[in-house]
Amino acid sequence: MANGTLAVRDLSVSYGRAVRALRGVSLDVPAGSVTAVLGANGAGKSTLLRAVSGTLPFHRGAVDAGTVRLGDRSLIGLHPATVVAAGVVQVPEGRRVFGRLSVEENLRAGALGAPSRSEAARAHGRVLELFPVLAERARQRAGLLSGGEQQMLAIGRALMACPSVLLLDEPTLGLAPLMAERIAETVREINLQGTAILLIEQNAALALELSSSAHVLEVGAVALHGPSAELAGSDEVRRRYLGVGEDTGTEDGDAAGEITPPPALERWTG
């Protein structure tokens, strides 16, 4: 696995050279950390992951400016398979597994990105330790798994490539509360085992609980960023994303869809 910080600097992305989806976004995912990205639908969260993972061209998107680096290696312009080989693996939103393949065949597909057979074998043991149900369902078609089991398989398949950075896009979306908490606990365990995580999560409270730092995207730009504990205590974040308090924003600010950072967070805004 590659080591080092995943660093995004001044990243701007557009679709069809007409729709600007990201505007000058910068963030870091230090080795072994969890960094969360919050924002409403359409804020640019998934676009950010696509830019990092190299899958933007599949969505007719392009990087207009900025850099994405893992340690001293640039990831901009690399084929997605090369990004995986560099140590960055994405788990897309929507529990995308190969439904007609068995659970074991899905895991083997993930192992194609592993550095070596020996590391793939170790990763396989790690995945089954994290998700024992996948061992029980090894010969079952993935399309017949429950939603939660499919999410476990999607994460497990990504781990088979032995990433140093895991990109998680809405891992608890659509799951029952108990299953969502189980997935969250697994994300904690994956991080404790040394894998850095860039987490996109609609459940802002959960994202802030899991992460050490967080960024809030508004209309493709970073509106706030800082330690997750500080953001969780921000009246603005609590009002907009945690459902606490009454919306008392100014008319101008609301019309622009902007967040006005509280004084305690101004030094972290980007």
Q: What is the pLDDT of residues 100-146, one digit of tens each?
A: 999 999 999 999 999 999 999 999 999 999 999 999 999 999 999 99
Asked if residue 243 belongs to a domain, the reply is yes
What average pLDDT does range 4-16 have in this prediction? 96
The pLDDT value given to residue 94: 75
Tell me which of 162, 183, 217 is where a domain ends: 162
Strand order across the beta sheet in which 213-218 lies = 88-91, 165-169, 196-200, 34-38, 213-218, 221-227
244 pLDDT tier (thresholds 50, 70, 90): low
In one letter, which amino acid is 195? T
pLDDT reading at 77 higher than 70: yes
End-to-end CA gap in the chain: 30
Spell out the residues 6+ positions from residue 31 whose beta carbon is closer than 8 angstroms to its own: 3, 4, 5, 164, 196
For residue 1, tell me if it sits in a domain. Answer: no
Report the C-alpha gap between 258 and 253 in whole angstroms.
5
**Rounded-to-integer distance, Cα 245 and Cα 232, Å:** 13
Q: Domain of residue 200: give its range.
A: 6-87+165-268
* pTM metric for this prediction: 0.87
Give how many domains the chain has, as a whole number: 2
Average pLDDT rounded to a whole number, residues 144-166:
96
Q: What is the pLDDT of residue 3?
A: 67
Written as one letter, the residue type at 11 is L
- CA angle (212 as vertex; 242, 64 as ends), nearest 5: 85
Mean pLDDT confidence for 46-72: 95
Domain finish residue from 138, 162, 186: 162
Question: pLDDT above 90 covers what percent of the chain?
Answer: 77
Judge if 172 and 255 occupy the same domain. Answer: yes
Is the pLDDT at 263 greater than 60, yes or no?
no
Q: Over the chain, what is the mean pLDDT?
A: 88
**Each residue of 79-99: pLDDT tens digit?**
999 999 999 999 988 778 999
CB count, 10 Å around CB of 147? Answer: 13
Asked if 185 and 141 sit in the same domain, the reply is no
Q: Can you tell me the mean pLDDT for 209-224?
A: 95
Q: Residue 19's CB: how many other CB atoms inside 10 A?
A: 12
User: Which helix (H) or strand (E) is 262 found in, with range?
Assistant: none
User: 57 in a domain, yes or no?
Assistant: yes
Nearest CA to 167 out of 22, 62, 70 is that of 70
CB 67 within 8 A of CB 8: yes
| Residue keyed to tokens 């207009």 | 64
